[in-house]
Structures are given as structure tokens and as C-alpha cells.
Amino acid sequence: MRTLIVGAGVIGSFNAARLRQAGQDVTLLARGQRLADLRQYGIVLEDFRTGRRTTTQVPLVDRLNPGDAYDLAIVIMRRNQIPGILPILAQNHRIPSVLFLGNNAAGTDDIVAALGRERVLIGMPNAGGARQGHIVRYLSWRWLPVLFGELDDQKTPRTQAIVRMFRSARLAARVIKNVDAYLKTHAAGLPILAGGVYLAGGNVRQFAHDAEALKLYLQAYREALRALHAIGVPVKPAATRLAEWLPQPIVLFATRRLLDSRLADMGAQPHLDAAVDEMKEMADEMRVILRQAGLPTPASDILFAQVDARFRASRSELTNPVVSGTAA
């Protein structure tokens, strides 16, 4: 299967390298400084748990032309970046299958409108981490598979081929039903987690020890899950519903243990730091769901306001960079 991976961040780089190591015909689309680093160094992966490094040379392109032929494109980009890639994908009619792996609370209407329903698959990615210069420090486990599926929930020859491709690289992959519900459930927690961390000063571990911020987070999370129920979206996986009915002290204890860990240092902190724009996008998408549900959301409103404020601050830093120097 000739595969193009669109997006050379942590997850795209990780999967491109692992698939290439397994002998798969994979090409990575990258731009700017990331493309320059990849050309100079290759994909350098460092396992966060063991420190083991590998270097893999992967074929690179800096654009997708209308006539470029691939069996599959895997798009691994921030949700707010998807509108920018859709017109480029739409101009290309030689890629029959496009798998979008990433956060999405808004559904696939925009994607389907651009590409047609028959080309689109959606799912959740299988890794996390951070990029430090040209080195990708990643987190991945076999119990964190690529979860994906067709929009009509059918198992098809192409979904089975994609599963075989990932498994050839010893990457777990599974076809699931109602992927949209999984994505919406995941999105229900993501921007409020970001808001809680930003409220607590921007550090995940500091947030883990801020009792009031944690309580606000749990209240907001339960608001979001109730909203999904109200609009007819099942909470997936079913184990997530434990957060709705377990006593608050138990949920807070488990949340604190998870966030006050090296796992959170690499699995959550880097994304919350680097992807403030996506956190803003996800907060806005969840606002739409909450409005549709018509339920009171006082805790969510507070935490989404924290995301808004962090986003405005990040935009201000870009437009008004601090210049250091000595006064004349």
C-alpha cells in the first residue's frame, strides 16, 4: 500500500518511521524547518521510557500535487489546520482513501463536503510526545492502538488493509464502530483539561495538586458528558462513564494520580504548551455541543475562558515579540 502521511509532527513522524522500518511504502509530507531537519537528520525517534534512539530515512515531499498517486493518505494535523489541507486534498483525485487521525468534536461535514463521503475515514492516533529540535521524544504502548473506521461503521477491504499495514510495523490498530462518538467523548475532556491546567499556572503537575481547579475540571467534564447524552451521542468507550457516577473523591484521586506523573509530563504537557490554537478550536467546537444540549455549564464556561485567554496571549506574543537588549 503506497501511503502518504500528511503532517510531520510527533505522531506523523513516529508512524512514518515505524512503517518505513517495517518495509512499508510510506512518504512523509513536511514543510519549512521541519523539512530541512528531516532532510539533514532523518526521523530521529527517542523512546521516552527507555531513551533508545533510532534514525530512519523516509521519502519526503513538500507538497501534494493534483496528479500524485497514493493508495492512502493519513492526515495527522491539529483540528484547526484541517481546513487548510482540505482544498489541496480535494484537487487530488488519485488518492481513493484519506484517513484523518486527530481531535475532532465538530464531526465530518466539512471533510465530506470537500472530499466526498466515499474517500473519508476517521480515527484516533496512537502516540504522544514532544519534538525537541529535530528529535522526536514519543510515548506509545500496544494498549494505545490506532482506532479508526468507516463513516458507515462497516468493515471493508480497505480498513482491513490499513490494519494489516499498521500491524506489520507492530503498531496496534483496530477498526471500531461509531468513531465519531469516540472523538466527541475525547474532545469533551480535552479543552477543559487545558483550561484547568492554564488556570493552575500552565503546569500539569501543579494542576494535579490544585484541589479547587481539579473540582472545577471534574464538574466541567461531567457537564460535557451530560451534553453528549442530551444530543444523542453515546459516551465511548463505555468505561468513560465511570467519571459520571463514581463518587467525586474517587475520581479526583485517580485524576490526581494520573496527572502527577511522568506520563503526564510527556503525554499531556507538551501538547497543552504547543497547541494552544487547537485547544481554542476544541473549546469552540465543544461550545456548540453544549449550546445544542441546552444545559447549564458554569464550570465549562470558566475553563473555556481560560483557554480563550491563553490563546489571546499566544497571539499577542506572536504579533508583539519581546526584544531584549540594553537601553542606549
> In this predicted model, what pLDDT tens digit does every residue of 203-215 receive, in sequence order?
999 999 999 999 9
Place of cell 451530560: 226
Q: Radius of gyration (Cα) for the chain, nearest Å?
A: 20
Q: Rounded to the nearest 5 degrees, what angle is found at the Cα of 115, between the Cα atoms of 43 and 285?
A: 80
pLDDT at 325 over 60: no
For the chain, domain boundaries: 3-177, 181-316
- Mean pLDDT estimate for the chain: 94
Asked if the model's pLDDT at residue 137 lies above 60, the reply is yes
Query: Does position 326 have pLDDT exceeding 70, yes or no?
Result: no
> Which among 107, 109, 100 is positioned nearest to 77, based on CA atoms?
100
Give CA–CA dist 146/127, Å, rounded: 9
- pTM given for the model: 0.94
Q: Please tell us whether the domain made up of 3-177 is placed in CATH 3.90.75.20.
A: no
290, pLDDT greater than 80: yes
Average pLDDT over residues 309-314: 96
Query: Domain 181-316 classified CATH 1.10.1040?
Result: yes
Q: Which three cell numbers stand for residue 41?
A: 537528520
Name the CA dihedral angle for 157, 159, 161, 162, rounded to a multiple of 10 degrees: 170
Q: Which three cell numbers stand for residue 178?
A: 461509531
- Distance between CA 70 and CA 90 in Å, rounded? 14
Residues 61-74: pLDDT tens digits?
A: 999 999 999 999 99
Q: Enter the DSSP assignment of 154.
A: -
